[in-house]
Amino acid sequence: MIVFTCLICLLFILFYPKDPSIKELVKQMAKDPAFNQMAERLQKTFHGVIQNPQFMTMAECLGNALMQDPSMLSMLENLTNPSSHRDQLEERMARI
C-alpha cells in the first residue's frame, strides 16, 4: 500500500510540480521516518537489481519490444509528454 501511495505521489509531483499542496505533501513525506526507511530499502534493492547483468539485458530487450508496439509507444509518449493529455490524466487521478 505504501508503494502504491508513493507512486501516486510521484505522479502528482511530476504533473503538478508548482502546486503548493503537493510541495507540502513532499515535505511531510520527507519527515516521515517510515517513508524514509522504505525509500532506503527500495533504493538498496533497486541498486542491487540494476547491478545484475541479466536483469539489464532483459530490461533492454523489454524496452526495445515495447518501442516496437504502437500502442505501447503511444502510452510511453503520453507519459513523457503529459501536457497533451492533462485533462484525461486529471480525470483519472480524481477517480483514484
Where in the sequence is the domain holding 25, given as residue range(s)? Answer: 1-51
Instruction: Note the pLDDT of residue 57.
Output: 93
pTM above 0.85, yes or no: no
Residues 45 and 76 in one domain: no
Residues 43 and 65 in one domain: no
Contacts of residues 79-83 at CB distance under 8 Å and 24 or more positions apart, as own/partner, are: 82/14, 82/15
Residues 93 and 70 in one domain: yes
Residues 38 and 72 in one domain: no
Residues 46 and 68 in one domain: no
Residues 44 and 66 in one domain: no
Residues 43 and 60 in one domain: no
Cell (9 digits) for 16: 503538478
SS3 state at 32: coil
Q: How many domains does the chain have?
A: 2
Residues 46 and 66 in one domain: no
Cell (9 digits) for 76: 510511453
Instruction: Note the pLDDT of residue 54.
Output: 93
Instruction: Note the pLDDT of residue 95.
Output: 76
Low-confidence ranges of the chain (pLDDT < 70): 1-17, 82-86, 89
Residues 46 and 62 in one domain: no
Instruction: Note the pLDDT of residue 3.
Output: 59
